[in-house]
Homo-oligomer: A and B are copies of this chain.
Amino acid sequence: MSKVEPREITTVLFDDFELLDVCGPLEMFGAAGQRFSIRLAGPEPGPVRSAQGPAVVADVAYRDAPPPDIVLVPGGIGTHRLVDDVGFKGWLAEWAADAQIVTSVCTGSGVLAAAGLLDGYRATSNKRAFAWARGQGPRVEWVPQARWVEDRKRWTSSGVAAGIDMALALIAHLHGEQLASTVADRVEHEWHRDPTWDPFAAKNGLAPTQE
């Protein structure tokens, strides 16, 4: 028999995370019925302030977070501190190593790269911070033009709103296209199903010039 319990998605919160990077995907997983269970890990249990101001409550401290099925690492200006935090990177690398799928939104892929979790994988990131992300992972095959990149156990999305499209693609991957379409309709979101759709790469000088 296949696994019937919901998959546990653990989101890694940190000071100055990007609000929509977290809430966009979690809205999609939350709208997919009982198939996903949402946990939020933070430096300590309790409120963690986003870069936009509103605080979201962590259920558990990093050190106490159970092994996750799926990991979600958001971006946000706080990632610039995280990539230099040796203790955090050590924890993330070990804790996420055996996860079924490790995902990131926006500059969260810079954090995954800095922790070594993207070595040997293809990945993308926020288009305005692409050079920064690239600098975190010299052994990552960075893909500049992509809404999201799926490479085996690593799913990385482009900036902020792209996390919503990646989450829907992940729901489709795990539970079928029909459920993902139903979720998109339920939240009245026009789902970009094509992972190569990315008008923002060209706007930031990251796409090949085309005639």
Contact = CB atoms under 8 A, between A and B. Distances in A.
Interface of A: 18-20, 22-24, 26-27, 29-31, 38, 40, 47, 50-57, 126-128, 158-162, 164, 185-190, 192, 199-200, 203
Nearest to A25: B20
13 contacts: A18-B27, A19-B27, A19-B30, A20-B187, A23-B23, A24-B24, A27-B52, A30-B52, A55-B57, A126-B188, A161-B187, A161-B188, A161-B190
Contacts of A31: 52
Nearest to A128: B186
What is the total number of copies of this protein in its complex?
2
Contacts of A55: 56-57
- Grouping DSSP codes into helix (H, G, I), strand (E, B) and loop, the A interface class, with mixed when no group exceeds half, is mixed
Contacts of A189: 160-161
A38 B50 CA distance: 12
Nearest to A50: B30
A157 B185 CA distance: 15
A181 to B, nearest CB: 10
A19 to B, nearest CB: 5
Interface pairs A-B: 9 shortest CB-CB: A30-B52, A23-B23, A20-B27, A159-B188, A161-B189, A160-B187, A55-B57, A38-B53, A188-B200
Contacts of A200: 185, 188
B54 A47 contact: no
Given A23-B27, A29-B52, A57-B57, 9 more contacts: A19-B23, A19-B30, A20-B187, A24-B24, A27-B52, A30-B53, A38-B54, A161-B164, A161-B189
